Amino acid sequence: MAKIHVTTTLNGVETEFLARPEQTLLAVLRDELHLTGTKEGCGSGDCGACSVEVDGRVTCSCLMLAAEAEGRSITTIEGVAQGGELHPVQRHFLEEAALQCGFCTPGFIVAAKNLLERNSNPTEEQIRFWLAGNLCRCTGYDKIVRAVQAAAAEMRGES
């Protein structure tokens, strides 16, 4: 089959690309569109490094065919900061040192931002459940949870 022509809204901008039918969204983001912030850890839906938002839901881009992006609205880590201004989740990941090698970080930030848009005041348990699909082999998770809590407090106007 010829390549498929896909039109999607990517980080707020209407974007067109060509994809092979079996190509995943992750492969197109990284290899064709050169948005390499989205990482591939496992390619099987286990690690969450490839997390993106599709129509407001956080999804593994390795589990989605690029052709499925037709007509959808997609946000990657590159779309999280606004005009050079870091999102509070990004800033608090830096301030709380919630990363070491950084490979898992884009996925965590995309997933955590999605959580805070749905629930402005999650408990620690809710944060840990929401982020259970994101694996980190460096930090031990505690600093990540604290960064999300600090970002939530700031976004609620409490700090």
Residues that bind ligand FES (CB under 6 A): 40-43, 45-50, 60, 62, 99-104, 136-139
**Which partner from the list other proteins, ligand FES, none does 75 bind, CB cut-off 5 to 8 Å by kind?**
none
Reported as type and span, the H/E element at residue 52 is strand 51-54
The C-alpha atoms of residue 96 and residue 75 are separated, in whole angstroms, by 24
The C-alpha atoms of residue 149 and residue 28 are separated, in whole angstroms, by 33
Between 41 and 88, name the residue whose CB sits nearer to ligand FES: 41
Which tokens is 94 given?
């830096």
- Among residues 117, 129, 137, 140, which is the contact residue for other proteins, using CB under 8 A? 129
Q: Are 66 and 27 within 8 A, CB to CB?
A: yes
Between 86 and 141, name the residue whose CB sits nearer to other proteins: 141
Minimum CB distance to other proteins, residue 83 (Å): 28
